[in-house]
Amino acid sequence: MKKRELNRFRKLLTAQRDEILKKARKTLAEESAIDVDALPDEIDFASFESSQSLIFRLRDREKFLLKKIDKSLQKIESGEFGICEECGEDIPVRRLEARPVTTMCVRCKEEQERLEKRFG
């Protein structure tokens, strides 16, 4: 992959990582600002807890994505970015543009999903 393309992916991945971290900091700041004792009744408290649960599930998914982003950035540095971990072939740039954290070409990913479906 050309150096220019690698730089483009590095910037894209770094921007995604920064956005996720910004959201996480905002969530933490909002959490520390809320006084649960000030919620007027049990319904408001239950609604608050439900909302918090959803937010934390989203942040947990983002934490998983952060790990993938960091792995992709490491691969850029090591020269392994854009190479399928299964077959060793180049991953097409269009696939990387759609999902920059991917580690497999379409063929290998489809095979993995087929096996997961088959064996659960």
**pLDDT tens digit sequence for 49-62:** 777 778 778 888 89
pTM confidence score: 0.78
The band of 48, judged by pLDDT with boundaries at 50, 70 and 90, is low
Give the per-residue pLDDT at 45.
64
Can you list the domains of the chain with their CATH numbers? Answer: 1-81 (1.20.120.910), 83-120 (no CATH)
In the predicted structure, residue 44 carries a pLDDT above the cut 60: yes
Buried b / exposed e along 19-35 (16+ C-beta atoms within 10 A): ebeeeeeebeeeeeeee
Q: Tell me the average pLDDT across 107-116.
A: 96
Q: Could you write out the DSSP letters of every residue in 88-102?
A: -PBPPHHHHHH-TT-
- CA atoms within 13 Å, Cβ hemisphere of 94: 1
Are the C-beta atoms of residues 95 and 102 closer than 8 Å to each other?
yes
C-alpha 62: how far from chain center: 5
